[in-house]
Amino acid sequence: MKGVILAGGTGSRLYPLTKVTNKHLLPVYDKPMICYPLEKLIGAGIEEIMIVSGRGHVGHFLELLGSGSELGVSITYEIQEGAGGIAEALGLARKWAGTDSVAVVLGDNIFEDDFREDIESFDRGAKVFLKEVPDPQRFGVAEVNGSRILSIEEKPQAPKSNLAVTGLYLYDARVFEIIRTLKPSGRGELEITDVNNAYVRNGEMQYSVLSGFWSDAGTFDSLMRASVMVQRYRMKQAESAERQ
């Protein structure tokens, strides 16, 4: 499996912090934001990773991460020319991914959970990772029945559950054919929810519910929340190490 980190967008909700840099290079506690999803992929055993970003910022990521050799991985960079949506950005990895499955993570998502077992056991179809939230109206929301996802609705006014779809997705190579069939949404973008629902309709969507903390970091409040969550996690780790 190969890994794709989507780190594009204008970062308008974090302006003026993003006036001179990409939001994924802003600090979350003691590391640049992009390092967290990157470390999750590396920790899950993925050795080939592509970072997709906008034209003005790819060089910044290259300066920070280089070829990935210092991290023991190979990092490739791709440019998303416009704001065409998450699915469009993923589609840029088509030739690079070839026939391999892909683990796709949004560059502003911070996870506590470990995903090695999920990634190593993944075979076919797609898998999303859900988290119970108090404000599901802000997210894509999954309606589930037992082990099956019945539907995923983007930012619903009347959510059918409190299970938000987080920014990590596992897909087999057929995802790129699905992306080619998509039409832009009302906001002119190719939506990742449409990709996910294509797998749902085929009965090939799996899911897991996260037990650890999760946050995006795309607003001032969520950026602060993610930093505090990471700080608390590090403190717990330190206290546990001292007790041992």
pTM, whole model, 2 decimals? Answer: 0.95
Cα–Cα distance, 145 to 153 (Å, whole number): 15
Contacts 24+ apart (CB under 8 A), 150-156: 150/200, 151/197, 151/200, 152/128, 152/193, 152/196, 152/197, 152/200, 153/193, 154/191, 154/193
pLDDT for 56 beyond 90? no
In order of 9, 16, 128, the CA distances from 53 in angstroms are: 8, 19, 22
| Domain map (residue ranges) of the chain | 2-243
Question: What is the structure's pLDDT at 10?
Answer: 76
Q: Is the pLDDT of residue 244 over 90?
A: no
pLDDT in tens, 125-165: 999 999 999 999 989 999 999 989 999 999 999 999 999 99
Confirm if 71 and 79 have CB atoms less than 8 A apart: no
| CA distance linking residue 143 with residue 161, whole number of Å | 6
Q: What is the pLDDT of residue 240?
A: 83
Say which CATH class 2-243 falls into.
Answer: alpha beta
- Report helix, strand or coil for 112: coil
The beta strand positions in 16-147, using DSSP E, are 27-28, 31-32, 48-54, 74-80, 102-106, 109-111, 126-132, 140-145
Expressed in percent and rounded to 5, the helix, strand and coil fractions of the chain are 35, 30, 35
Q: Which two structure tokens, joined as six digits, stand for 61?
A: 């990521």
Q: At 35, list the tokens.
A: 């390092």
Evaluate if residue 102 carries a pLDDT over 80.
Answer: yes
Confidence class for position 63, pLDDT limits 50, 70, 90? very high
CA 187, CA 161: separation in Å to the nearest integer?
A: 25
Amino acid 22: pLDDT: 92
Q: Which residues contact 56 (CB under 8 A, 6 or more apart)?
A: 22
Average pLDDT estimate for 63-67: 96
With a cut of 80, say whether residue 80 has pLDDT above it. Answer: yes
The secondary structure element, H or E, covering residue 86 is helix 86-91
Q: Which amino acid is at 2?
A: K
Residue 233's Cβ-count burial label (10 Å; 0-12, 13-18, 19+) is: middle
